[in-house]
A and B are shown apart, each in its own frame.
Chain A
Amino acid sequence: MVIETTIILRLTAAFTTMYLVALGHSIFEKSGILNLAIDGVFFLSTGVTTAVVVPLTWLLTARGLSLVLSTTLAALTAGLATAIIGIFMAWTLTKLPISHGAVGLSLMFLGYGLGIIAGYEVRLRVGSIRPYTYPDSLGIYLAILAITVLIGLLTYFFIFKTALGTAIRACGENPHVALALGASVLKTRLIAGLLGFFIMGVGASFFVLLWQKYWDIKTYLLGYGWLAFTIALAAGRHPIVLIPLAFMFGGLVEFSITLQARLGLQADLAKMLPFIAALILMIIYGSTKLRRIFEPPGSLGKVFYKEERTI
């Protein structure tokens, strides 16, 4: 029975991480900004989490407060840290006529660099980060799972059923027209950036706190941010459709680790699996009707210059 519980815990953690990162990314891209910073932001969040959770746990447990509180606070802090990047991206890419791809990629590298600097010393000091993560308790995991799914449902209602959510979609489809209709493209995208990157950051912090319980400066080499990117793409950035896909991919990453351990599959081949799966998912998405159903926002990645001249 112990093994089964472990599997449930790990699958839950994998799903939660993948889902929240893909969800936050989707909210942001719905507003029309191409987010190529995703992998760097993923890693930055894990670095910040590591840097924050250790001292915070010392501080709080010394006062008799529980570990769950400090880990949760660390996750929220990581969310806030990445939200700053989201706001920065939303502002620069709406206010200035510059390339989304260039800014996103730069932030990816910067995110790697900053994440390394953030977590490096703490990691050296404590050796293993495991004691500072969520305890292996089914109750806690299921509670986090429930909250995650609830956030997903709320996001769905927010995006599709409210005026502000509609404004986000409108800015993604055509910011010039959204502006002419009276929306503030800047404000709308700032909100999408704040909300999206906060959720993304919290999700990525669960990689350290809930899923792997491990952090190393070389973690940036994992590329899990790109897996989340692929999921969001194939699910058309739809909060509900994301659920099964995030579950599948979270499971696959877990499965590849198990394969390696149990069947003696060479580690590098096991690590490759999720990426091959991502490419296959892209092929399925790109070559079938899915592409039409889950079309990306019409102005995704297009430079927004308010005074654009037309003939």
Chain B
Amino acid sequence: MRFIVLRRKTIPRYHTWISTAISLILGILVYLFITILVGRSPLEVLVNIARSFISPSIVKDFFVLIAMGCALLISFKAALWNIGGEGQFYIATIPGILLTLFIFNPRHNPAPAPLVILLVALTGTIMGAFWAFIAALFRAYLKIDEVPVTLILNYVAYYILNYLIFGPFKGRYVYGYLRTDEIPEIYRLNVRVHLPMRGDPLQVALQNLTVQLAYYIALLVLAVLIYVFTWWFFKHCRIGLYTKIHGSNPSYLQAVGVSVNHIILLTMTISGALIGLTGSIYLLSELGRIPYEIERQTAGYGYLAILVSWLSLLDLKMIPFSAYIVSALRNAGIALQVAGLGGVEQSLLLIGAILLTYSITRFLVEYEVRFEW
């Protein structure tokens, strides 16, 4: 038997959707298969996955992943594989900690909260941008693949943060834990709504959702802002067009007189800036403090966002959709605790399985397979 791959003459409508759906289903099947191997009932796994799709507890992940998914989309469109989201995310929390707990600590140096929050966002953006910029320098001027560099920079960011928490950032009111102090309430971005949580299950769920939405309102605003920015960037901005062309054929940029290196630097920096912004807002609306050995406790958004961006087929319209799926799957994974594992360990398998089936089946959008006997 012969197996021939040929480029499609025409691309059927809805084909990208079908292909994404197929890859998702296949990915979940691979994941199911592995969990069955370690002795879990497939029914239980499926029920858990289904339940997490309608759980209000995914709103936080959903907003963060839309923001980060868009940020990575910008670099992925340029075929710059920014796998350094983790590092850019956490390095951006450093100025936030410094500003809220040290420089403008309300105990000894109070400052207007909106100003401090703005400063945190601004410095976080700059830090994230800077971290991505380093990788961009390697790629642009040393011609070294950005994947290993951004990954290595993730490690460096983790260790820098750990060093700071172990030393200068070590908290004083931590009940013996090794972590930073809690960021003062006046700098936090949460809106607390108290609802009775009564009524039929649907009403309770809606009330629950409202509470969650209010609590993470800052992340919601952030996701919308970044989404709109990304839309404008690719639709109208000249740099956005260059970014896309870089992903398709950088030599063409060179031939029309656009500096390829500048586009690499710009694209990566914008991507890192948006991630840094997300990191600093996340610090103020969710984290509140940073524990020692952050690499062992990260939610892994930097990696999950890769999944979001890829599952969207690098199509901005699909980002919210894939962010929703990924948040649901991540929550299912945590709820399941396969083999007694929780958190990132659990997500790794899921990320791997779906990314793999996705990146393989993706070729079916543009190609067809023919068998010959």
Contacts and interface: CB of A to CB of B under 8 A. Distances in A.
Q: Do chains A and B touch in the complex (CB under 8 A)?
A: yes
A213 interface: no
Choose among B166, B310, B352 the residue with the greatest number of A CB atoms under 10 Å from its CB: B352
Contacts of A99: 359
Given A114-B34, A230-B148, A272-B160, A95 B5 contact: yes
Interface stretch (A64-72, A102-110, A132-140, A175-183): A102-110
A223 B349 contact: no
Nearest to A306: B5
Given A39-B151, A103-B359, A221-B296, A266 B166 contact: yes
Nearest to A40: B352
Given A230-B148, A275-B152, A275-B156, A116 B167 contact: no
A266 B178 CA distance: 14
B360 A105 contact: no
A233 B141 CA distance: 16
A226 B151 contact: yes
Interface string A80-119: 0000000000001001111101110111111111101100
Interface of chain B, main secondary structure: helix
B132 interface: no
Contacts of A103: 356, 359-360
Contacts of A40: 352
Interface stretch (A152-160, A195-203, A280-288): A280-288
Interface in B69-94: 81, 83
Interface string A264-279: 0011110110011011
A113 B349 contact: yes
B97 interface: no
B355 A105 contact: yes
A144 interface: no
Interface in B330-373: 338-341, 345, 348-353, 355-356, 358-360, 362-363, 366-367
Given A98-B363, A269-B163, A108 B148 contact: no
A307 interface: yes
Interface string B146-183: 01110110011001101100110000000000000000
A221 B295 contact: yes
Choose among A110, A221, A267, A279 the residue with the greatest number of B CB atoms under 10 Å from its CB: A110
A305 B363 CA distance: 11
B197 interface: no
Contacts of B306: 105
Contact of A109 (B163, B348, B363): B348
B42 to A, nearest CB: 16
B235 interface: no
A291 interface: yes
A98 B143 contact: no
Nearest to A98: B363
A101 B81 contact: yes
Contact of A282 (B138, B147, B160): B138
Contacts of B138: 279, 282-283, 286
Nearest to A113: B349
B363 A226 contact: no
Given A110-B349, A110-B356, A283-B142, A105 B152 contact: no
Interface of chain A, main secondary structure: helix
A268 B142 contact: no
B303 interface: yes
Contacts of A266: 163, 166-167
A219 to B, nearest CB: 12
A36 interface: yes
A154 B52 CA distance: 54
A218 interface: yes
Nearest to A269: B163
A279 B345 CA distance: 27
B3 interface: yes
B355 A102 contact: yes
B7 interface: yes
Contact of B360 (A96, A283, A307): A96
Given A97-B367, A221-B296, A282-B142, A117 B38 contact: yes
19 contacts: A92-B360, A96-B363, A97-B363, A101-B81, A106-B351, A106-B355, A110-B353, A113-B345, A116-B348, A117-B38, A226-B155, A233-B148, A266-B166, A266-B167, A268-B166, A269-B159, A301-B145, A305-B5, A307-B6
Given A101-B147, A279-B156, A283-B138, 17 more contacts: A97-B367, A98-B359, A98-B363, A102-B310, A102-B355, A105-B306, A106-B351, A106-B352, A109-B348, A110-B355, A230-B152, A272-B160, A275-B156, A278-B152, A279-B149, A282-B144, A286-B143
A-B residue pairs, 8 tightest by C-beta: A286-B142, A113-B349, A110-B352, A109-B352, A102-B359, A106-B355, A106-B356, A268-B162
